[in-house]
Structure 1
């Protein structure tokens, strides 16, 4: 336990500066100390997951993209929230800046892990492979979100701050090539089963395994329009028999539920999950609620509206909030973990990949798997165009309020202007599809450039 506390102190030191100017910290626990045993090296990697949960990444991603998009309505008078909701962002907006900073912080820590593991002769080979796979997966995960939110970004692969502080932005194609390579390597390194903090088998799905890397890889292949490869990755996950869809929608976000591919363990006192603690309302909303226009787009028979949204009647009116997570703040027991990847998405990926290859019967079958769980009637005989439209509609409701998927998917299928233009009116410009590069990065790095429109 002492080692884990010291390592968390070390990781915290890495987080004290903005990522691109981070130097090797002079903490009392050096890199050479971390990589002297399996236990200390593993604890360093687990500390990254603790930060991702405790720093609220999986609330920030859906909340901020949902405000900028069509999922949420703003109730805050804080100027940064107002600017986000009205698509009037500036480079000094702290909400979008914190996402940039945190994602690069985790990348730095993964780079440090990879460098330390490469130099270590004390960490056993099996643990070294697992930790390298986890670090590569998390690094790829962070770059996936950076490039989808900010466009071209600096590709940082080391902890050398003298190099990192002057890096220019890499093309999106270069980022995706790097992400794909990291995920392919991670797949080959990670265990098929789940590992505990002591590297023994466990039923908790809170460390990435082979299928976690495959889940992100399937999504990446969808972005790259590599349809057969997207289908193959999702097919392997679905047919692995490790996962199954929860028959009850209310159980899809329980800890270690059979649908979960990767979750983050609860680490904040009296919180089950950061999204649950922040989305669930106990009174009139002070920050966000579900947008009325989003609510009105539900179909009458869709069980997800009842299971995954909830209303509260206040003196100011009735407001709706996300209810995928059922436990808010001051939890007395831990029943839920934050879900990062789950099986339902893989059916939607496989459906779309099959549709794009004109495998319409198979694609419709995957679509109906998701529709029927939601209480919707099966569809048949769809054309390719109709099938794709139906898949995108199901993705909207199945993955709503999760990890910014709605915003990212609208960008991916090139419908963000079509959807948000009429909704946002004169506030919407085509350049709003990307967030601004933080002003602090522009001032610090002479080779950094800003996105168009900012």
Structure 2
């Protein structure tokens, strides 16, 4: 099966069809008039290039989902930590974020870069006379999914942010900021269109599909039910959308948890619903260096993102834990993480870089890896269904219990003596806590836990024992000050 690989040559689309929110020099040096949209959007190849450009903004290089920035700025969750001697890395981990952190700013810029490409595609799709109506709907559905994904991350990290459209992007410095509710309206509208117009599958695995729109809608509704909107009616919608994914029959849990994290399986496994894929081949691939960034220094890695000891010790034993952590290093001394220079657990999920490094080797062959970033997978459909069903119905149904236990069984290698099933009769609150804990372990280091802490209002309670300085305002990150200074009406978040 082919991968929808993101190639560097298409990154020019960023400058051809959209303006970029970033800093003044970017706005000046990359004018939108390089190629007018009316001269670009004519053929299927043009729209394919634009879709690829919107993805290239999000994956490839060092400043987006292909490397550590999303992990670094979400390190307030107790699963993730960082190298202690690097202040720019650990300021989010220790709840001392600054307003000029480059990891945060790079993610902000990457997300808006992608949004602007999507805006231009959507604005020009109707005039493409050389493209069939079916393909038009597909291209627009893909662009709307990618735009929704970008806004979803933006509002969960920073709260009230600018809503940039094709119509106002030339005046981006004056759009101000929109309420979280208004941003979610855009997200839901885009994903609803995507669900109605995207196919069930593509030959290329890196394209958003109907299932991708459905699972993201389920996740969006789940977040709308929590802080800050606290609209509990959205639990029902989250339950129903997750059930659509489950009932589609397209996705399933992989038998072995480890298999999810091997490059050889990334485009053939049955669990990934949407992921960003990269490739170092053909001389122009959007590669991922994350395999090197997360390796320990004893193996020649960068120690950029690690775990916390408290998280490692709380993690249930079994094959899932073995696949999640790298406890004995592939160096001459067979160093354990406890003996290492950093003294923190090492993450194993991102070790496999394909041609750049196998999972088991120590020193890497290079930084241009074949890594991937999973946005949503089938286990999340099961756990969203379990959580939302319980909260919507006042108690866990048998279906909700079964969904949760499916994930637990795989985690234990289907050994009930290691991790037994939960039994019927649990109260609503106890079951909710069980699901949230299961999400913590199942999605460790997948940039999920931080958002769970925020929506469940647990940021302080989960961290205060280790970081007494944590405050409620830490639920939102400080907006990049360069953006606050550049955009009229964009206000810095409280407490920063």
TM-score, normalising length from structure 1?
Answer: 0.89
Q: How does 1:306-317 map to 2 (within 5 A)?
A: 306-311=322-327, 312=329, 313=335, 316=341
The residue number in structure 2 matching 1:418 is 461
State the match for 1:215 in structure 2.
Answer: 215
**269-278 vs 146-155, which moves further:** 269-278
Match among 409, 430, 450 for residue 472 of structure 2: 430
Q: Distance in 1 between matches of 2:121 and 2:55?
A: 13
* CA contact 2:11–2:56 (8 Å) conserved in 1: no
What does 1:311-390 align with in structure 2 at a 5 Å threshold? 311=327, 312=329, 313=335, 316=341, 319-328=344-353, 330-331=355-356, 337-356=372-391, 357=393, 358-375=395-412, 376-380=419-423, 381-390=425-434
The residue aligned with 1:288 is 305
The yes-or-no answer on 1:75 pairing with 2:83 is yes
Instruction: State how 1:135-150 maps to structure 2 within 5 Å.
Output: 135-150=143-158
**Segment of structure 1 superposing worse, 67-76 or 391-400:** 67-76
Q: 2: CA distance between counterparts of 1:111 and 1:75?
A: 38
Question: Which shows bigger deviation, 92-101 or 138-147?
Answer: 92-101
Distance 2:104 2:239 in 1: 33
Distance 1:106 1:346, change over 3 A: same
Tell me which protein shows more helix as a share of its residues.
1
Deviates more, 1:221-230 or 1:47-56: 47-56
Which residue in 1 is equivalent to 2:11?
8
1:281-316 Cα offsets, whole Å, 9 max, x none, are 32475423211111111123x321101211222763
1:276 is aligned, of 291, 297, 302, to 291
Unmatched tracts of structure 2, length 5 or more: 1-6, 226-233, 330-334, 359-368, 413-418
Residue aligning to 1:86? 94
Q: After the TM superposition, which residues 157-176 of structure 1 pair with which residues of structure 2 at under 5 Å, given as runs?
A: 157-158=165-166, 160-176=168-184
Question: Which residue of the other structure, out of 449, 452, 456, is the alignment partner of 1:409?
Answer: 452
**C-alpha root-mean-square deviation of aligned residues, in Å?**
2.6
Tell whether 2:402 aligns with 1:394: no
> Secondary structure of 2:273's partner?
strand
Q: Deviations over 1:55-93 (max 9, x none)?
A: 452234542144333223332533322422321122112
Following the alignment from structure 2 to structure 1, what is the Cα–Cα distance between the partners of residues 60 and 280?
6
Task: Classify 1:179/1:10 alpha carbon distance in 2 versus 1 (closer, same or farther; 3 Å).
Answer: closer
CA offsets per residue over residues 233-262 of structure 1, 9 Å max, x none? Answer: 111111111111000111124322110111
Q: 1:41 touches 1:123 (CA, 8 Å); kept in 2?
A: no
- Displacement of 1:392: 0.3
2:483 is the alignment partner of 1:441? yes
Matched position secondary structure for 2:315: coil
**Residues 98-137 of structure 1 aligned to structure 2 (within 5 Å):** 98-137=106-145
In the alignment, the residues of structure 2 paired with residue 369 and residue 448 of structure 1 have an alpha-carbon distance, to the nearest angstrom, of 45
In the alignment, which residue of structure 1 is the partner of 2:206? 206
Q: Secondary structure at the match of 2:95?
A: coil
Corresponding residue for residue 198 of structure 1: none
Question: Is contact 1:19–1:108 with CA below 8 Å preserved after alignment?
Answer: no
CA 1:74–1:151 in 2, change beyond 3 Å: closer, same or farther? same
TM-score, length-scaled by structure 2: 0.82
Helix, strand or coil at the partner of 1:85: coil
Q: Distance in 2 between matches of 1:266 and 1:14?
A: 23
* Structure 1 unaligned spans of 5+: 195-201
Number of aligned residues: 439
Give the C-alpha shift of residue 329 in structure 1: 7.2
Report matched runs for 1:47-86 at 5 Å.
47-56=53-62, 57-58=64-65, 59-60=67-68, 62-86=70-94
1:153-207 deviation line (CA, Å, top 9, x unaligned): 111122534432111211111111111111101111111121xxxxxxx1x4210
Aligned with 2:252: secondary structure? coil
Structure-2 separation of matches of 1:92 and 1:5: 28
Match of 1:255 among 266, 272, 293: 266
SS of residue in 2 equivalent to 1:54: coil
CA distance in 2, matches of 1:61, 1:344: 24
